[in-house]
């Protein structure tokens, strides 16, 4: 249990969120939801017939991180790739409606915009189908992305989030170039990793794997405190990053720092209804807090409170600064 003075200190960092500038670089996804009801099974095959009642389009992938940072009050931009198609236009429209700059989005003519379509009946996902390509971006696209990142850094960027969904944008070369540029300019680089890309993230500031991702990345089965400590130390050593924050569901978080300090943060979630998008909320709040001047322990604590809010809501959710401050003060 943290003291009242500690809670007030955390809230002062949240007050500084609007003064921070973050750029999210990664895989752009359009989330398409089809909602309906099931009352019978198809006579053609043993599958449910969904009577559609509504549809909606939401920012997904890297743009869900953008949405989270924007909701928390930070100034945020986005850089990634979309296709020359209707889904790309829809994404531009959704970002523009939020007042988020879209000049960092690059159109690749022969690459479709990634769409994830989920069919949901009676609050349960029936099926999901994806339209995408996972091939690496073109060399010219890589150059344009890095040029845009370099321009943003020169204009006073505080932090970069690499949002990797294994769709071809976050490559080994791009991570290497961004990590070097950020180090020279004292810019935070935070990564929510994907297990198949673990070896690519060398030199970033902080990683936020979940327990399963950390286990696979460290090549250690994490089943007790001893194996957890070993995995955290190994990831720090292998990736040469300043910190690793392992999210552990109902067991909270464990923060491993380059200095050797280890901090275990208990969960503050009161009830867990849905963990969808919780990883995006964690990395968004963590990065904003670090950009606002919080040390890694305080930043992890703030992200833990933010995650505790979103897992109590069904569906992908964002957190507002006021509700985050209120939750922190409530303990």
Catalytically annotated residues: 280
∠ Cα 321 322 326 (to 5°): 115
Alpha helices (H) along the chain: 4-15, 62-71, 86-97, 139-154, 172-185, 211-218, 225-239, 278-291, 296-310, 321-330
Pick from 249, 258, 250, 243: which is nearest to 300 by CA?
Answer: 243
Question: In 186-320, which residue ranges form alpha helices assigned H by DSSP?
Answer: 211-218, 225-239, 278-291, 296-310
Give which of 224, 191, 157 is closest to 62, Cα–Cα.
Answer: 191
Asked whether the beta carbons of 7 and 23 are under 8 A apart, the reply is no
Task: Report phi then psi at 294, rounded to 5.
Answer: -70, 145
Contact yes or no for 27/166 (Cβ under 8 A): yes
SS3 208: coil
């Amino acid at each position: 249990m943290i003291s009242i003075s500690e809670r007030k200190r955390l809230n002062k960092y949240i007050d500084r969120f609007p003064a921070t500038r973050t750029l999210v670089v990664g895989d752009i996804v359009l989330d398409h939801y089809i909602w309906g009801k099931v009352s019978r099974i198809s006579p053609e095959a043993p599958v449910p017939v969904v009577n559609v009642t509504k549809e909606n389009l939401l920012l997904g992938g890297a743009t869900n991180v953008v949405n989270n940072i924007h909701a928390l009050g930070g100034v945020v931009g986005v850089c990634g790739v979309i296709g020359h198609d209707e889904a790309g236009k829809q994404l531009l429209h959704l970002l523009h409606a939020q007042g988020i700059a879209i000049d960092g989005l690059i159109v690749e003519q022969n690459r479709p915009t990634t769409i994830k379509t989920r069919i949901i009946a009676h609050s349960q996902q029936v099926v999901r189908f994806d339209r995408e390509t996972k091939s690496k971006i073109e060399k010219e696209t890589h150059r344009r992305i890095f040029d845009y990142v370099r321009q943003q850094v020169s204009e006073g960027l505080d932090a970069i989030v690499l949002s990797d969904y294994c769709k071809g944008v976050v490559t080994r070369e791009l991570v290497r170039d961004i990590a070097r540029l950020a180090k020279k300019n004292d810019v935070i680089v935070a990564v929510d990793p994907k297990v198949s890309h673990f070896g690519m993230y060398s030199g970033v500031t902080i990683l936020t794997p979940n327990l399963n991702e950390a286990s696979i990345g460290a090549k250690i089965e994490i089943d007790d405190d001893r194996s957890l400590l070993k995995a955290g130390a190994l990831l720090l050593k292998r990736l040469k990053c300043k910190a690793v924050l392992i999210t552990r569901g109902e067991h909270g978080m464990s923060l491993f720092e380059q200095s050797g300090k280890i901090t275990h943060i208990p969960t503050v979630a009161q009830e867990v209804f849905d963990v969808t998008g919780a990883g995006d909320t964690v990395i968004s709040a963590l990065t904003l807090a670090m950009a606002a001047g919080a040390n890694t322990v305080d930043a992890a604590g703030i992200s833990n409170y933010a995650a505790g809010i979103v897992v109590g809501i069904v569906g992908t959710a964002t957190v507002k600064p006021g509700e985050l401050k209120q939750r922190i003060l409530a303990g």
